[in-house]
């Protein structure tokens, strides 16, 4: 049997337990008492109060070990018994006892060591801590009653019960607190409430609080008591929280309040309410200031948006549309088509030679669409290995094929909700074109190695430098896919067919490259412009950009050092309407040809006049134009006034 103590105590009171009077006194004592041997860990005796408290029979108790009955922890019990054996007595509230109902009750233990027939026993009284706490509260309540403060004690006890039950009350010390009975009569007011309301407790207690401080709305109109949430609390039994009303002070001033009205129950009946309130004037002022600040921010935001829209419009005016640079009739027609189709979800096919800027057109369409907040995903179909097309488009799951070590989303999935730009669409393998057609028609696809069908919402813009119609005839491209892509075709003409766009593009690329390469004071001369306009741009805009970049690299300052390579193939006849007529039988000029002709005439006149615009021998006189008319045309055509050359200067 386990020993609870290694300490032997030979001293202590000798108890003759054989006397009948002692047995009767012990058994009928109102305090639960047990006697046990701490050395042998054995119960010796227990009185009726202990049996009632623990719920076990005497037989069960005597067969139980004290270490099992006291369930507060073996270490705590050993410390307690050791202290009793050493000091002769001890008190603790750190133990608990098992009960027959299977629960534990915390107890206060008061023990004393006694000697019986040479054995040291412990006599321990047990008191339920909750019962002791209840008796203590009752004693305190009686003390308050004797001191004439029964009303305050009632509310204090109620506050304690509320705090234990749902922890609603109390808030900050500066909060006002008052209580009312079921008739709305004030029964208690704390000092904070007196300070906030301007009334003394004597002026408020016994009066109808609603009529005193709450009977009017902020505008002074009557506030019926039937609408008051404070009264509702002790009528419907619910807690009411309000933060949009006011209380009135004794001096007639008003202040916004936040209050909570909590019903008070006694013996199952609603007897009134407790109200906790606070002055929220500072918070309301802060909210008003914040609201005004937000309105100001919103106004400034609207103004900035308008200014940004204006600046964007200025940029579009300068560059025509988005990033598209050009003033030719062909470019204006392309921009018009973009504006027509961009707001829709229609599939668009952009055709044109390599380097004409098809991706720029696709980006402008996306930015002008309702999908502009979603991504524009570009796929260069010419750069994808043939056996990876399906994975690139639709994705795959792990283990779908050798090398598929993880799940991968395809380009269609990445572009969901946005735009997918299929560049060089004519390079898609014929066997995959059917799957692409299904996505375009049904908006569904499957990843490689996965049976799950996925839905996708993607707007398709395709581009090619091939003649897809010829590819269809040659059985290299599906006819049904061709017509599905050809919903709204846009053709981007080559640069050599719109020479009037060359000066704007060259100027743009020059500025961009100078910033990129940190070069300054490099400019294009009129002869440079003429040279660029007369060149046969087989590589189109991309070739022009590369030539400008190369020229900027080799130029330090001053005039740009152009080095135009000889064209790979001679330009076809009439490729430049400025230099020779396109057809001897055709006397009419298109609008783009006329603009190009006018521009070239002005440039040649400026060249012949040595850069002189006005006056005798100036370009205006050579052209037979008014100086103001010539200046207006130069501005419209983007021709800068050249520096006047002096004798000895070379072009």
DSSP 156-219: HHHHHHHHHHT------TTSEEEEEETTSBEEEE-HHHHHHHS--HHHHTTSBHIIIIISB-TT
- Full DSSP string of 486-546: TTEEEE---GGG-GGGHHHHHHHHHHHHHHHHT--SEE--HHHHHHHHHS--TTHHHHHHH
In DSSP terms, 91 is beta-bridged to: 110
Predicted pLDDT of residue 104: 87
460: number of Cβ within 10 Å: 22
What's the average pLDDT block by block, 10 residues per block, for the chain (651 residues)? Answer: 39 48 81 91 92 91 90 80 91 89 88 88 91 83 61 60 46 72 87 90 90 88 87 79 90 91 82 88 87 80 57 45 78 91 94 91 92 90 87 87 83 90 92 89 89 91 92 91 92 91 89 88 84 89 92 85 65 41 48 75 81 81 80 80 53 39
- The Cα 357–Cα 379 span in angstroms is 15
Say how many Å lie between the first and final Cα of the chain, rounded: 120
- What pairing do the DSSP bridges indicate for beta strands 408-409 and 395-396? antiparallel
CA 227 to chain centre: 41
Q: Between 329-341 and 358-367, two packed helices, what is the crossing angle to 10 degrees?
A: 40
Question: Domains in the chain and their CATH numbers?
Answer: 13-133 (3.30.450.20), 149-279 (3.30.450.20), 329-493 (3.40.50.300), 589-651 (1.10.10)
Contact (CB, 8 A) for 170 and 177: yes
Peptide bond into 170 cis (omega under 30): yes
In the sheet that 459-464 helps form, which strands lie side by side, from edge to edge? 376-380, 419-423, 459-464, 348-351, 488-491
Q: Which two tokens stand for residue 366?
A: 């996306």
Would you state the structure tokens that stand for residue 525, as one six-digit string?
């001369």
- 112, with CB counted inside 10 A (0-12, 13-18, 19+), is middle
Alpha-helical regions (H) of 408-476: 411-414, 430-442, 468-473
In Å, how far are 497, 544, 549, 558 from 508, measured between CA atoms? 19, 11, 11, 17
Cβ 326 vs Cβ 320: under 8 Å:
yes
Contacts for 549-555: CB closer than 8 Å, 24+ residues apart: 549/509, 549/513, 549/517, 552/510, 552/513, 552/514, 552/517, 552/519, 552/522, 553/517, 555/519, 555/522
Structure confidence at residue 201 (pLDDT): 87
Backbone angles phi, psi at 613, to 5 degrees: -95, -50
Phi, psi of 282 (to 5 degrees): -65, -40
Q: What is the CA radius of gyration of the chain?
A: 49
Closest CA to 330 of 544, 509, 536, 501: 501
Query: CB of 379 within 8 A of CB of 441?
Result: no
Distance of alpha carbon 95 from alpha carbon 106, whole angstroms:
6
What does the alpha-carbon distance between residue 209 and residue 180 come to, in Å, rounded to a whole number?
8
Within 10 angstroms of residue 617's Cβ, the number of other Cβ atoms is: 11
The two structure tokens encoding residue 6: 């290694």
Contact between 46 and 122 (Cβ < 8 Å): no
């Amino acid at each position: 049997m386990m020993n609870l103590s290694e300490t032997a105590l030979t001293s202590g009171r000798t108890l003759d337990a054989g006397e009948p009077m002692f047995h009767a006194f012990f058994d009928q004592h109102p305090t639960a008492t047990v006697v046990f041997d701490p050395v042998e860990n054995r119960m010796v005796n227990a009185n009726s109060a202990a049996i009632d408290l623990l719920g076990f029979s005497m037989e069960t108790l005597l067969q139980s070990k004290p270490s099992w009955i006291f369930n507060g922890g073996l270490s705590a019990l050993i410390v307690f018994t050791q202290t009793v054996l050493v000091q002769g007595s001890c008190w603790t509230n750190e133990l608990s006892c098992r009960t027959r109902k299977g629960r534990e009750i915390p107890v206060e233990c008061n023990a004393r060591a006694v000697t019986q027939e040479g054995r040291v026993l412990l006599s321990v009284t047990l008191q339920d801590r909750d019962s002791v706490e209840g008796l203590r509260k009752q004693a305190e309540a009686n003390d308050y009653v004797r001191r004439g403060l029964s009303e305050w004690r009632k509310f204090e006890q109620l506050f304690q019960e509320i705090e234990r039950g749902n922890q609603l009350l109390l808030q900050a010390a500066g909060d006002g607190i008052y209580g009312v009975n079921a008739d709305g009569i004030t029964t208690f007011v704390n000092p904070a409430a007196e300070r906030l309301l301007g009334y003394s407790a004597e002026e408020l207690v016994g009066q109808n609080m609603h009529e005193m401080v709450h009977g009017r709305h902020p505008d002074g109109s009557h506030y019926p008591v039937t609408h008051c949430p404070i009264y509702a609390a002790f009528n419907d039994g619910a807690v009411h929280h309000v933060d949009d009303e006011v209380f009135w002070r004794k001096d007639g001033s008003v202040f916004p309040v936040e209050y909570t009205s909590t019903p008070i129950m006694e013996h199952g009946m609603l007897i009134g309410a407790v109200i906790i309130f606070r002055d929220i004037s500072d918070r309301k002022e802060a909210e008003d200031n914040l609201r005004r600040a937000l309105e100001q921010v919103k106004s400034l935001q609207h103004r900035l948006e308008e200014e940004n829209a204006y600046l964007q419009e200025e940029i579009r005016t300068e560059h025509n549309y988005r990033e598209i640079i050009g003033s030719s009739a062909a470019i204006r027609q392309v921009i018009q088509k973009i504006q027509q189709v961009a707001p829709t979800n229609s599939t668009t096919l952009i055709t044109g030679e390599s380097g004409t800027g098809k991706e720029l057109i696709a980006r402008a369409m996306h930015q002008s669409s309702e999908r502009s907040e979603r991504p524009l995903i570009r796929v260069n179909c010419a750069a994808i290995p043939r056996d990876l097309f399906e994975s690139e488009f639709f994705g795959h799951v792990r283990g779908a094929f050798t090398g598929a070590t993880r799940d991968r989303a395809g380009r269609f999935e990445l572009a969901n909700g946005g735009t997918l730009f299929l560049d060089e669409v004519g390079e898609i393998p014929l066997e995959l074109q059917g799957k692409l057609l299904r996505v375009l028609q049904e908006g569904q696809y499957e990843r490689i190695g996965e049976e799950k069908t996925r839905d996708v919402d993607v707007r398709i813009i395709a581009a090619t430098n091939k003649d897809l119609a010829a590819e269809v005839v040659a059985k290299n491209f599906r006819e049904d896919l061709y017509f599905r892509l050809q919903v709204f075709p846009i053709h981007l003409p080559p640069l050599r067919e719109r020479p009037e766009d060359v000066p704007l593009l060259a100027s743009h690329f020059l500025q961009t490259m100078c910033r990129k390469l940190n070069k300054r004071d490099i400019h294009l001369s009129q002869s440079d412009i003429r040279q660029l306009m007369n060149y046969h741009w087989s590589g189109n805009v991309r070739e022009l950009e590369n030539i400008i970049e190369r020229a900027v690299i080799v130029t330090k300052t001053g005039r740009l050092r152009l080095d135009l390579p000889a064209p790979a193939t001679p330009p076809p006849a009439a490729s430049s309407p400025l230099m020779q007529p396109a057809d001897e039988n055709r006397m009419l000029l298109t609008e783009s040809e006329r603009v190009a002709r006018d521009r070239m005439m002005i440039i040649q006149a400026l060249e012949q006049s040595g850069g002189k615009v006005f006056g005798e021998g100036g370009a205006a006189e050579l052209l037979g134009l008014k100086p103001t008319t010539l200046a207006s045309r130069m501005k419209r055509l983007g021709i800068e006034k050249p520096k006047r050359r002096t004798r000895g200067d070379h072009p």
